[in-house]
Amino acid sequence: MGDQFMSDETSQRSVQSLHPVAPEQEAPVHGPVTREGGSSDHGSCCGHGGASSQREHAPDHGCCGHDHGGSDRAADLSGLQGSVAEGDKQRTAMRIMQMDCPVEEQMIRKKLEGMAGVERMDFNLVQRVLTVVHAPDALDTVLAAIRSLGFTPELPDASGELGSKPEQHTPWWPLAASGVAAIASEAVHWLQGPVWLSALLAVVAIAGCGLTTFRKGWTAVRNGNLNINALMSIAVTGALAIGQWPEAAMVMVLFNIAELIEARSLDRARHAMEGLVELAPATATVRQPDGQWQAVAVEEIAVGSRVRVRPGERIGLDGEVLAGQSSVDQAPITGESLPVEKQVGDSVYAGTINQAGELEFRTTATASDTTLARIIHTVEEAQSARAPTQRFIDRFSRIYTPAVVALAALMAVVPPLVAGGAWLEWIYRALVLLVIACPCALVISTPVTVVTGLANAARRGILIKGGVHLEQGRRLDWLALDKTGTLTHGRPVQTEFEALSDDPPALQSLAAGLAGRSDHPVSLAIAAAAREAQCDEAAVEQFEALPGRGVKGRIDGRMLWLGNHQLAHELDVCTPAIERRLEALEREGRSVVLLMTEQLALALFAVADTVKETSREAIDELHRLGIRTLMLTGDNHHTARSIASAVGIDSVRGQLMPEEKLQAVAELTGQGRVGMIGDGINDAPALTRADIGFAMGAMGADSAIETADVALMDDDLRKVPAFIRLSRATRAVLIQNIVLALGIKVVFLALTLFGMGTLWMAVFADVGASVLVVLNALRMLRA
């Protein structure tokens, strides 16, 4: 599949370049030549989009839990759509403000699961968004079903946006009044005042804050679900029934306070992502047809508009600079704090900050389609893909809750009946158990940790496409790296030109003719050098790219080849003298290509690429993290080894054809978990084959974001070790949270069994534990 994949994808790509050439590209701009697309577009070519051509081949790796296929990814990525068609089904996203706890998710899941016309559901608890894939006529039934659970689903408005999520501000004073009443009730009880007074105060307290709990609990019970509200309602009712007035009141108040704290902390996790959205300004200054400049809401700005941005201002949309020169702080997207120089022709991105001078640019994306919007949407999608730990916990909690409830039921009746225990005492213990039966803290611990991990990564310019990759990253044994553009800058320059016959200027223009038609970095270097030497590009016919070897074409009726050593042998034009010369150059780390006819080699061109300053440090860090490195390259063995030793890589495989890179990755996967990093364009098959595929320089390259499991927004290889460390940190927090959630339960369960547990403790064990795990997860935002 490799071969076909490459050719048809690359050929389409050159036609569909959506974005201008990447900003950092120093190579001179090419004339209006038709590019062949080459076998490989390297690092610096990350500006080439081609989302749609890539999409057809988008990997469908079963491992990552969320489907890459989908209907229209582009539409999918552009914010929340109202209802979009997905095959013969509809896909509707809705916001349900009351849905912020996993028990609510379970309720909805249970209700909708068996319903006719419902195919799939995706929950995003942190954003409180439910996405349902359903038969076109089933929407009303779905909405009705959700309403019957006591929820209010909100559909996006006409513009396709889900409104500006209004925060629910429940007034604080009823809860405060309830608290006072509960304390008063407790005090009356302590001071051995009249029972009726204590009871009255307790009822007031419960009425003041607990009615919602009761209502939610009742809906849950009616739908056969024992969520925390149901459990709390039963426990509090039970406590009232056995005359534990003050305790019932206190427990209800505590529960509500804790719920409030939990909701607030979850809000913070949610805002971690929203913070990114706010990075893009709401308006931008657009030139009107009459030449006036006017501030316009970014949503209303069409692609192709001319926008002006002053120094110090945030850029509102993606675009291509038309006038001006400035430096731009791209840290919001790439995590790299060093400003990037921008001049005419360079790309600018929404959310980044213009620093030095005024810029005018032509917009290349609508507000919902900018790189920043895609990042945010990808992270939001990544949350709904369940990480493995979460699946385990879901299974666990399905057993845990019924088991503890059953235990509570037994506890209430067996000891009094069998051993003659006191009824009230054992019923009380059973009630305590009921409250402990809620798995909420455990269930919430994973998603909230994963979300904060994803948000942390996004801020550093690391875009992770699913919680599963964040969890698995720590287990990588190997990292396979592409050479050109990944370890090196991917912008080689010609260092040697040696004629092997004929007159030099003519040779150089022949080579330039062939090279000028290719996007391959080696060709770019040769074409650039020829331009500098003021050689014309010879006119080429029947041009053809030979992936992994070079190019060929007919000039003045003569077939010519420009390609590597291997190609020279295929044509049988290599001589011992050439052999020696090539080896000498290659040992210095040069890539050498020859200009050849069918009979003989005419000239040789050596190019040298420079190693990125950050590569060596990144490789060192990876080794320190216990990850082995392997360089894969199409370049010859000598050059490959020379570069590998310059950056300190463990092992090298040179002279690989594109599809052999895929094989190399496949072989490695037999020896452990393998990550593969490349530019995500020409090495897409290898990236897909790896356990985790990293694409570099993803900013502005939609295809890289599509293909990779992890997209690094710039070219800094150090983001890989950063990702691994983050993955390990996330893992640590996950474990802490699970231990915390379970540990607290176990301790209080034991206390209760021995008769020392109280309802207060149970509330702490439940909602208190939830608060603790959420707060613990929030630490990751700062990590």
How far, in Å, CA of 212 to CA of 408, rounded?
24
Instruction: Give the residue from 527, 574, 522, 513 showing the smallest Cα distance to 547.
Output: 522
Does residue number 589 form part of the binding site for ligand ATP (CB under 6 A)? no
Instruction: Give the residue from 550, 570, 572, 569 showing the smallest Cα distance to 561.
Output: 550
In the list 38, 59, 319, 473, the residue contacting ligand ATP (rule: CB under 6 A) is 38
Residue 549 contacts which entry, Cu ion, ligand ATP, none (Cβ below 5-8 A, type-dependent):
ligand ATP
- Smallest distance, Cu ion to C-beta of residue 573, A: 9
Does residue number 598 form part of the binding site for Cu ion (CB under 5 A)? no
Coil/strand/helix, residue 592 = strand
Q: Specify whether the backbone of 65 is left (phi greater than 0), alpha (psi in -120 to 50) or beta.
A: left
Give me the amino acid identity at 591: S
Cα dihedral 767/772/775/780 (nearest 10) = -130
Does residue number 629 form part of the binding site for ligand ATP (CB under 6 A)? no
Q: Which is nearer to Cu ion, 315 or 592 (CB)?
A: 592
- Which range in 203-211, 219-227, 250-258, 514-522 contacts ligand ATP by CB under 6 A? 514-522
In the list 50, 634, 700, 721, the residue contacting ligand ATP (rule: CB under 6 A) is 634
- Which range in 78-86, 166-174, 531-539, 567-575 contacts Cu ion by CB under 5 A? 567-575
- Smallest distance, ligand ATP to C-beta of residue 23, A: 21
Q: Which is nearer to ligand ATP, 545 or 726 (CB)?
A: 545
Does residue number 578 form part of the binding site for ligand ATP (CB under 6 A)? no
- Smallest distance, ligand ATP to C-beta of residue 591, A: 4
Does residue number 563 form part of the binding site for ligand ATP (CB under 6 A)? yes
Residue 39 contacts which entry, ligand ATP, Cu ion, none (Cβ below 5-8 A, type-dependent):
ligand ATP
Q: Which is nearer to ligand ATP, 412 or 562 (CB)?
A: 562
Sheet holding 319-324, edge to edge: 293-297, 283-287, 306-309, 359-363, 319-324, 347-348
Residue 609 annotated as catalytic: no
How far, in Å, CA of 59 to CA of 39, rounded?
20
Token look-up 């997860």 returns: 777
Token look-up 């209502």 returns: 215
- Smallest distance, ligand ATP to C-beta of residue 562, A: 6
In the list 41, 329, 381, 635, the residue contacting ligand ATP (rule: CB under 6 A) is 635
- Per CB under 5 A, which of residues 577..596 are in contact with Cu ion? 579
- Which range in 35-43, 115-123, 361-369, 616-624 contacts ligand ATP by CB under 6 A? 35-43
Does residue number 551 form part of the binding site for ligand ATP (CB under 6 A)? yes
Q: Specify whether the backbone of 312 is left (phi greater than 0), alpha (psi in -120 to 50) or beta.
A: left
- Smallest distance, Cu ion to C-beta of residue 673, A: 38
Residue 522 contacts which entry, ligand ATP, Cu ion, none (Cβ below 5-8 A, type-dependent):
ligand ATP
Token look-up 């607990």 returns: 210
- Smallest distance, ligand ATP to C-beta of residue 47, A: 17
451 to 490: interface string for Cu ion, x by CB under 5 A: ----------------------------------------
Judged by CB under 5 A, the number of residues near Cu ion is 2
- Smallest distance, ligand ATP to C-beta of residue 664, A: 11
Token look-up 């010369």 returns: 581
Calculate the alpha carbon distances from 121 to 109, 376, 381, 687 in Å: 8, 20, 13, 29
Does residue number 574 form part of the binding site for Cu ion (CB under 5 A)? yes
User: What is the distance of C-alpha 753 from the center of its chain?
Assistant: 45
Run of H or E including 543: strand 541-546
Instruction: Give the residue from 671, 28, 119 showing the smallest Cα distance to 651.
Output: 671
The sign of the torsion formed by the CA atoms of 530, 532, 538, 540 equals positive
- Which range in 87-95, 111-119, 372-380, 542-550 contacts ligand ATP by CB under 6 A? 542-550
Give me the phi and psi of 154, to 5 degrees please: -110, 125
How far, in Å, CA of 382 to CA of 450, rounded?
9
Calculate the alpha carbon distances from 500 to 148, 515, 574, 575, 583 in Å: 84, 18, 11, 11, 16
- Smallest distance, ligand ATP to C-beta of residue 638, A: 12
How far, in Å, CA of 604 to CA of 481, rounded?
28
- Smallest distance, ligand ATP to C-beta of residue 677, A: 11
Q: Which is nearer to Cu ion, 79 or 548 (CB)?
A: 548
How far, in Å, CA of 704 to CA of 770, rounded?
37
Q: Which residues contact 382 (CB under 8 A, 6 or more apart)?
A: 66, 454, 464, 465, 466, 467
Does residue number 564 form part of the binding site for ligand ATP (CB under 6 A)? yes
Residue 579 contacts which entry, Cu ion, ligand ATP, none (Cβ below 5-8 A, type-dependent):
Cu ion
In the list 209, 317, 593, 630, the residue contacting ligand ATP (rule: CB under 6 A) is 593
Does residue number 549 form part of the binding site for ligand ATP (CB under 6 A)? yes
Residue 90 contacts which entry, Cu ion, ligand ATP, none (Cβ below 5-8 A, type-dependent):
none
Does residue number 680 form part of the binding site for ligand ATP (CB under 6 A)? no
**Residue with CB nearest ligand ATP?**
634
CB–CB of 582/604 below 8 Å? yes
Does residue number 641 form part of the binding site for ligand ATP (CB under 6 A)? no
Q: Which residues contact 396 (CB under 8 A, 6 or more apart)?
A: 439, 442
Catalytic residues: 482
- List contacts with ligand ATP (CB under 6 A): 38-40, 482-484, 518, 520, 522-523, 545, 548-551, 562-564, 591, 593, 633-635, 658
- List contacts with Cu ion (CB under 5 A): 574, 579
